[in-house]
Amino acid sequence: MPLAIFALAVASFGVGTTEFVIMGLLPELAQDLGVSIPRAGLLITGYALGVVVGGPIIAIATAGLPRKSTLIGLTTLFALGNLLCALAPTYGLLMAARVVTAFGHGAFFGIGSIVAASLVPQNQRARAMAMMFAGLTLANILGVPAGTALGQAFGWRSTFFVVVAIALVSVAAIVAFVPAGRDGEKPAGLASELRVFRDGQVWLAMLMSVVTSASLFAVFTYIAPILQTVAGISPRGTTIVLLLFGVGITIGNLVGGRLADWRLMETIMGALGLLALVLLQFAVSSHFAPAAAATVFVWGVVFFVLIPPLQMRVIECASAAPNLASTLNQGAFNLGNALGAWIGGATLTLGFAYDVLPLVGALLALMALGVALTTWRIGCRRNAVALAE
């Protein structure tokens, strides 16, 4: 893989750390700011909505700019946003800072995916995207556990200061390694980008991303209290379990990239069915510390098998003009994040226990499988018509 893809992976490491680390710090952050854990969880929702709203705005605003310059600007915005998070004195200002940070998230991964795919042969595109997203998965192995431990030891603000430093390293890596003028075709123009949304398959592909992501965040948003109050795992043990999850998603990401280059829709449908089974099992295993830790690892593997093929599916369906669609799919993932976090919080607010959340996640995974089956059948019918003609 070209060095440019590894430079993008460094940037995705920083983005992933700031997105996910707050989950491990919910108890500390809630106590420091004087809010409940469900309300603190809304900071994840706010970030996700920032991605949903900001991604299309940034993608359209930068449509005529060189992709390298755009990526540099986005990672700089990310650094400034995290600095505001670290300095925010109140819950409201922290929420605003998280939204500002999130504005560049969707466009970064959307444009970065196109750049990564354009630098390799056709049959390696999903693997190239998986390598870029490997930074996101490594964030869960290194960034999230280390950030959680740092925040527990020195306060949650210290974690955001470290993320600022990671973001600055990301800017330097992109400047040094991403080639200018060699990142594939230029954007096809706003009219062409919008035209691809006439195809219902594009919308179904993004709907799969929304519901799949919701199945994760309905549970993972509250993973720290689940592990601590249901499984009886200590805060330090929670950090270790988060590390296992990070190892799992790293493995799943690499496997998903290879499978997507082989059998795209079959990979999506098989992984969604398995995801529902794993979450059903977590409803039981969450009561036993060793079993809960093992299930979280398997959960990470299965979930991230889905990420490269879901992104590849959108790019495939919008192949005529993929830039905006690719960015909007990142918004779709984060809309699912927000929806899942809200569903999880609403479930707890209604009085249900933490061990009910995996059942909610399993139901959402089955709904995503239903969408996948629908889009697969439509594709089969289109192929049959094309062959007949």
How high is the pLDDT of residue 186? 54
Flag whether pLDDT at 184 surpasses 50: no
How high is the pLDDT of residue 96? 92
Beta strands in the chain (DSSP E): none
Mean pLDDT value across residues 64-85: 87
Contact 19, 140 (CB under 8 A): no
Mean pLDDT value across residues 24-29: 82
pLDDT digits (tens, 9 = 90+) for 300-341: 999 999 998 998 898 888 876 677 888 888 878 878 888 998
Flag whether pLDDT at 23 surpasses 90: no
d(CA 24, CA 301) in angstroms, rounded, equals 19
Q: Percent of the chain beyond pLDDT 90?
A: 30
Nearest to 206 by CA among 339, 342, 335: 335
| Residue 377, domain CATH | 1.20.1250.20
Whole domain around residue 171: which residue ranges? 3-388
How high is the pLDDT of residue 197? 82
Mean pLDDT value across residues 251-263: 89
What CA–CA distances, in Å, run from 130 to 117, 135, 143, 294?
Answer: 10, 9, 18, 24
Q: Is 233 left (phi over 0), alpha (psi -120 to 50) or beta?
A: beta
d(CA 127, CA 335) in angstroms, rounded, equals 25
Mean pLDDT value across residues 14-37: 83
Count of domains for the chain: 1
Tokens of 231: 């499984």
d(CA 92, CA 77) in angstroms, rounded, equals 20
pLDDT digits (tens, 9 = 90+) for 131-169: 888 888 888 778 877 888 888 888 889 999 998 998 898
**pLDDT tier, 380 (very low <50, low <70, confident <90, very high otherwise):** confident
**pLDDT tier, 385 (very low <50, low <70, confident <90, very high otherwise):** low
Q: Tell me the three-class secondary structure of 141-190, residue by residue.
A: HHHHHHHHHHHHHHCHHHHHHHHHHHHHHHHHHHHHHCCCCCCCCCCCCH
**pLDDT tier, 291 (very low <50, low <70, confident <90, very high otherwise):** very high
Establish how many alpha carbons lie within 13 A of residue 54's alpha carbon, considering only the half-sphere containing its beta carbon.
22
How high is the pLDDT of residue 34? 84
How high is the pLDDT of residue 386? 65
pLDDT digits (tens, 9 = 90+) for 337-362: 889 989 999 999 998 999 999 999 99
**pLDDT tier, 183 (very low <50, low <70, confident <90, very high otherwise):** very low
Tokens of 44: 């994840």
Q: Percent of the chain beyond pLDDT 70?
A: 94
d(CA 311, CA 63) in angstroms, rounded, equals 20
**pLDDT tier, 189 (very low <50, low <70, confident <90, very high otherwise):** low
Mean pLDDT value across residues 24-34: 83
d(CA 302, CA 311) in angstroms, rounded, equals 16
* Residue 147 identity (one-letter amino acid): G
Flag whether pLDDT at 101 surpasses 70: yes
Angle at 261 between CA 258 and CA 262, to 5 degrees: 90
